[in-house]
Each structure stands twice: as C-alpha cells, then as structure tokens.
Amino acid sequence: MIDTHAHINHDLLKPYLNEIVDDLKNFECLICPSYDKKTCETTLEFVKTYDKVFGALSIHPLELKDWNEETKNFIEKNLNNKKIVAVGEYGFDYHYQPFDKTKQEEVFLIQLEMAKKANLPSIFHIRDAFDDFFVSLKNNFSNFTGGVLHCFDGTIQDAKIALDMGLMISFTGITTFKKREDLRDVIKYVPLDRIMLETDSPYLAPEPFRGKVCLPKYVKQVYELVGNLKNVTQENLDEQITKNTKNFFKKLVI
Ligand SMILES: [Zn+2]
C-alpha cells in the first residue's frame, strides 16, 4: 500500500504523528508534498527522519504569499535531495475569490521549468481551473517532464484530455462519497496503469470516516473502492499501483 499524497507535515496531523509513523510498517512508502515555505522545511526534515517517507517541494497556488526569489532558490537547491521525488503540489486554484490568474500562471510556469531542470515529475493541484491549466501546459509542453493530477475532481472529458497529454490521475477519498457517482465513473474510465491513489490527509477522509481528520491509513478505503470498480483483487491492485507509482516517481527507491 502506498499513499502518494499525505500532508503529514500539516499542523492538524501533529497530534497523530506517532500513530502515523507507527503505521508506516503497513506501507511501502508515503509521499509528503509541500504547499508553502514552512511545509517545504518540514518535508525535508521528515524525509531525513523516516525511511519510508519521500517528499515533494513547491508553493501551492493559494500560498503565493510565500513565493519570492529566496523561496524559489531554497526549493531549487533542495530538489537535489535524494528523497525529494517531485515538484509539488502546485498549479491553479480558482475556487476562492479573489484569485489572480496571471500570478498563478506565472508561478506555475516557473515551477514547471524547475521540474524540468531537476528532471522531476510534477504533482499538480488543479481546482476549478482545468481549462486554463490545459492551455498553459500545452503552450509550454517542452518544459513538461511528467505530472499527476492529484485529488482528481474533474469530468471524464477532463480525464481524457489529461490522459492524452500523458498525465497520471490520482484519486482520493472523495470518490467514496455517496453523491460522487461521477467520480466513480471516471475511475471506471481511466486505465488502471494510469492511476495513483492517495488520501490528501488531513482532509477528505473517505467513507465511513468522512468528516474526521484524515489519516494515511484510510487510503485502504480508496484501494477497496478502486478494486471493486475495476474488478481486480486487492493483491493485484496493490501490485499495479506500486508499479505505477514507481514508474512515475523515478527517484523513488522502495
Ligand atoms: Zn495536497
């Protein structure tokens, strides 16, 4: 079992950290993405401390207050760390007013280029902004060195465009929510070798834990759902997801 996206660097998970670390025995590995300057630092600390924890560094579109030359240099320098396996999570988020499209794209493009320079894949956070993301990525495709749409919350049509561009698609616990039949249809649509699974802890705990603080161990509920929808055993699913994850995060040694 792998959780490809768990913010164990988030303050909400501080009281659970011992339990999470103890649970790592049930995981092949866990990937901890950053979203602001502080979590970039915590991620670096965690990958040093915990064998099974790997990390990603970048600034999230809702944390652009942290974006400056110093942060950029700090991230760039640490992308060389052998346990930093991606640039992420970054992208576009138009969910909360007001947002600055121009600024979001500017920082997106700089981080895309950083990923290329470091020869790393990207973990993309895209919320209510698929159209602009696809256009921007298409226009700058020469800088694209692989990417995953984390916490996928789009339509089958969005998934189709993403797959055609070579992206991976990652699903969270929201796919277990009663009203999200649409996302279960997306899971049925996406080929199994293009899927990764995650919790996005501490948010989005799957059913039957919905509303609670989400912990990485709940990724099991996402594995179960996907296994059922794809009609594969948990053993085969586990094997395939591990293979996908290792192919995608080339620096991942597990
Ligand atoms: Zn996240």
Place of tokens 């189709």: 160
Q: What is the pLDDT of residue 213?
A: 97
**Integer Cα distance of 32 and 156 in angstroms:** 27
100 CA → ligand 1 middle, Å: 20
Strand ranges inside 81-213, DSSP E: 84-93, 122-127, 147-149, 168-171, 195-197
- Cα–ligand 1 centroid distance for 89 (angstroms): 6
**Rounded distance from Cα 128 to ligand 1 centre (Å):** 15
Q: Which residue has the tokens 């590995």?
A: 29
191 CA → ligand 1 middle, Å: 23
Question: What pLDDT is attached to residue 133?
Answer: 98
Nearest to 134 by CA among 158, 104, 102, 110: 158
pLDDT of residue 164: 98
How many whole angstroms from 50 Cα to the centroid of ligand 1? 20
**Separation of CA 213 and ligand 1 centre (Å):** 14
For each of the chain's 254 residues, which pLDDT tens digit applies? Answer: 999 999 999 999 999 999 999 999 999 999 999 999 999 999 999 999 999 999 999 999 999 999 999 999 999 999 999 999 999 999 999 999 999 999 999 999 999 999 999 999 999 999 999 999 999 999 999 999 999 999 999 999 999 999 999 999 999 999 999 999 999 999 999 999 999 999 999 999 999 999 999 999 999 999 999 999 999 999 999 999 999 999 999 999 98
Measure 149 CA to ligand 1 centroid, in angstroms.
11
CB 55 within 8 A of CB 47: yes
Give the domains, in start order, of the chain with CATH numbers. 2-248 (3.20.20.140)
Give the model's pLDDT for residue 254.
Answer: 86
The residues near 6 (Cβ < 8 Å, ≥ 6 apart) are: 30, 31, 32, 198, 199, 200, 201, 216, 219
Q: List residues bridging with 148 in a β-sheet.
A: 123, 168
Distance 230 CA to ligand 1 centre (A): 25
Separation of CA 35 and ligand 1 centre (Å): 7
Instruction: Give me the residues near ligand 1 (ion), CB cutoff below 5 Å.
Output: 89, 200
Ligand 1 center to residue 240 CA distance, Å?
23
Q: What's the DSSP call for residue 127?
A: E
CA 38 to chain CA mean position, Å? 18
Residues 6+ apart with CB under 8 A from 39: 7, 9, 10
Counting Cα atoms < 13 Å in the Cβ hemisphere of 164 gives 9
**42 CA distance to ligand 1 middle (Å):** 15
